[in-house]
Amino acid sequence: MNPDDFQQYDGLIFDCDGTLADSMPVHYVAWHETMSRYGIEFTEERFYSMGGMPSDKIVAMLASEQGVSVDAVGVADEKETLFRTLIPRVRRNQGVCNVAVAYFQKKPMAVASGSPRTVVQEQLAILEIAELFQTVVASEDTQRHKPEPDVFLEAARRLDVQPERCVVFEDSPLGFRAAESAGMAWVDVR
């Protein structure tokens, strides 16, 4: 990924999990272990297709589909707590991080994620890139989540950049749809 390819944009917006952070395999470990405790099947293929969706919504959807009664928020909290113990295993997605480093203090940049703020901030800290971004928009900052555009629109608003002047770095189809709905260009970082 060549940083020079993004000079035409006024704002850069980065997803966290699977984009800045090579965290998706670690998230899957936490998901698999947590969901297994409740008898809920969550295949790796399905996991990757739901990237960007808040955890409680994933739990509620899977539990409903499989006829399992659980406290979706409680199970999601368990999964996030387990993931947080595994964060030291997370590594940088170096190509994407190189873009962020290249534009530090040159262009407004934000992180826009479907994860809770604490999880995003802990990952950015472990990756030593937290200081690169003017703002972080997390799951608790919007009512609607990917594939809805709200997280990206809120990031653009906080950066004071028109949405059509932003580019989104993403790793999931839900995120691509959200960026398109926001009127933003997007880059598939997979």
Go through the domains of the chain in sequence order and give each one's CATH number. Answer: 3-22+90-188 (3.40.50.1000), 24-88 (1.10.150.240)
Phi, psi of 156 (to 5 degrees): -60, -40
What is the model's pLDDT at position 51?
75
- The catalytically annotated residue of 4, 5, 10, 15 is 15
What is the model's pLDDT at position 179?
98
pLDDT under 70: residue ranges of the chain:
none
The verdict on whether 15 is a catalytic residue reads yes
Task: Kindly give the residue spans of alpha helices, DSSP state H, lying in the chain.
Answer: 24-37, 44-49, 55-65, 72-86, 94-103, 117-126, 150-159, 173-181
What is the model's pLDDT at position 83?
93
